[in-house]
Amino acid sequence: MTTVLGCIADDFTGATDLAGLLARSGVRVSLRIGVPSEPPTDPAAFEVIALKSRTAPVVEAVAESRAALKWLQAAGAQRFFWKYCSTFDSTAEGNIGPVAEALMQDLGTDQTIYCPAFPENGRSIFMGNLFVGCQPLAESPMKDHPLTPMGDSDLMRLLKPQVTKPVGLADRLTVARGARALAAELAALKSRGVAHVVVDAVANSDLEVIAEACRNMKLMTGGSAVAMPLPACYLADGTLSPDAPKVRTPKLGTKTIVLSGSCSAMTNKQVADYTSRGVPAFQLDPLALAENGPQKALDWLAKQDLEVAPLVYATANPASVRAAQEKLGVAGAGEIVEATLSACAVAARDRGARRVIVAGGETSGAVTKALGVTQLDIGAEIAPGVPWTYCHSGGHEIALTLKSGNFGSETFFSEAQTKLEFL
């Protein structure tokens, strides 16, 4: 099978988010953890490479993304997608813009689009401004993000310092007129030298218009939702065969571990809901971990019945997060928590857990690395952008879900388990 669309994601939960939406097509989607060290031998129609580059130094993020592009080209891909968060998480230096420009240079293309909208999850763009639900991005909980606080809602203003070429806008009025009108507007902007185009979207129908207008672009960029209509476009024009291989769902045991490192507003609600059900739970304190290490958490976990899916979490409110960061540093506090949750994942797997639920992008990256996971096949969706995936770890086949912090409903941790039981 030759790869039809090659995708690069800047974190692990974002990669599974994208892969899950592509998998709605029913066609096999393969997710690679990091750039594979071996050449492609059995690529899927849709290949997604998950990097951990969202908060990496710009030079490192660009280099990893270029290496991912080369692997995807070797897999046969002619079209590519650069995926970042639907809240446009970045700093003034990058990494969204610098990676996009590097990929454009390598592909020999002089224009791409930026569309982080995800209407199903409450992310919309109007006149270039990003909204989270009814709130402008800068007034949403993202303003308190511990690593990439977002203090501006204007995507053009956020993008301009990150790129070297002009930035423009294709607004909602243009998108509403359909794919031909949008394609014409993009062509007009290109004729004026505009290389980076923010595209408005407030509904799934807008995403379908954008996908239709941009499907032959060498490079598209955005959140996962704007890629969701692409499989249908490719099936319609014959680029993707209807006989492309489908995913296999394995039979697994029911022992489960739930791990949460995200401190997003929604994950706080999800932890509160799960613990209110009487599920055994252990809260990690970064300051205590820094002083005493992870053994207390591991000892607690060793006594738990994994059939009831215990929870280990570092999820906390913004004030508590800031207090830990002030003493340990932003990176230090995060690394301590990630290392402990990773150790818990391995310990639970070794005790028979075959279902692992993880909340938080950075945590997901650390856990998948600790479990030695390098490739995942995408399964059923639990919530928009959050699928179950199947992989091998420590000689065992396991189910793994990697949830972005703000995704899913308040009952997500319970819903995930129910979804898997009825497959």
**SS3 at position 281:** strand
Model-level pTM? 0.80
What gap in Å lies between CA 3 and CA 167, rounded to an integer?
30
Strands (E), 45-182: 46-50, 79-83, 112-115, 123-126, 129-132, 135-136, 167-170
185-200 average pLDDT score: 98
Alpha helix (H) residue ranges in 12-57: 12-22
pLDDT tens per residue across span 65-96: 999 999 999 999 999 999 999 999 888 888 99
pLDDT for 422: 57
Residue 421: its pLDDT value, please?
A: 64
Q: How far is CA 215 from CA 113, 141, 146, 210, 408, in A?
A: 11, 33, 35, 8, 28
pLDDT at position 263 is 85
Highest-confidence segment of 35-49, 173-187, 246-260, 389-403? 173-187
Residue 244 burial (CB count, 10 A)? 18
Tell whether the model's pLDDT for residue 384 goes beyond 90.
no
- Distance (Å, whole) CA 142 – CA 158: 14
User: What pLDDT is stored for residue 67 in this prediction?
Assistant: 98
CATH of the domain spanning 256-421: 3.40.980.20
Q: What is the spatial distance between Cα 311 and Cα 353, in angstroms, rounded to a whole number? A: 13
Distance between CA atoms of 275 and 94, rounded to whole angstroms? 37
- pLDDT by residue (tens digit) across 301-355? 999 999 999 999 998 777 777 877 787 787 777 888 999 999 999 999 999 999 9
Band of residue 208 on the pLDDT scale cut at 50, 70, 90: very high
Q: Name the one residue in this structure whose structure tokens are 């639900």.
A: 133
pLDDT in tens, 345-366: 999 999 999 999 999 988 888 9
CATH class name, domain 5-236: alpha beta
Helix residue spans in 253-304 (DSSP H)? 265-276, 286-292, 295-302
Whether 418 has a pLDDT exceeding 60, the answer reads yes
With a CB cutoff of 8 Å and minimum separation 6, the contacts of 66 are 102, 103, 106
- How far CA 366 is from CA of 12, 338, 353, in Å, comes to 9, 6, 18
pLDDT band at residue 249 using 50, 70 and 90 as cut-offs: confident
Between the alpha carbon of residue 354 and those of residues 277, 344, 360, 369, 417, the distances in Å are 22, 13, 20, 16, 11
Q: Return the domain boundaries, the chain.
A: 5-236, 256-421
- Distance in angstroms (rounded) separating the CA atoms of residues 46 and 387: 15
CA atoms within 13 A on the CB side of 307: 0
Q: How far apart, in whole angstroms, are the C-alpha atoms of residue 207 and residue 343?
A: 40
| Strand pairing class (256-260; 396-403) | unpaired
- Among 205-214, 318-327, 395-404, the range scoring the smallest mean pLDDT is 318-327
What backbone phi and psi angles, to 5 degrees, belong to 358? -125, 135
pLDDT in tens, 56-66: 999 999 999 99
Task: Give the pLDDT score at 423.
Answer: 53
Compute the mean pLDDT over every residue in the chain, rounded to the nearest whole number.
92
396-403 vs 46-50, strand pairing mode: unpaired
Residues 6+ apart with CB under 8 A from 73: 6
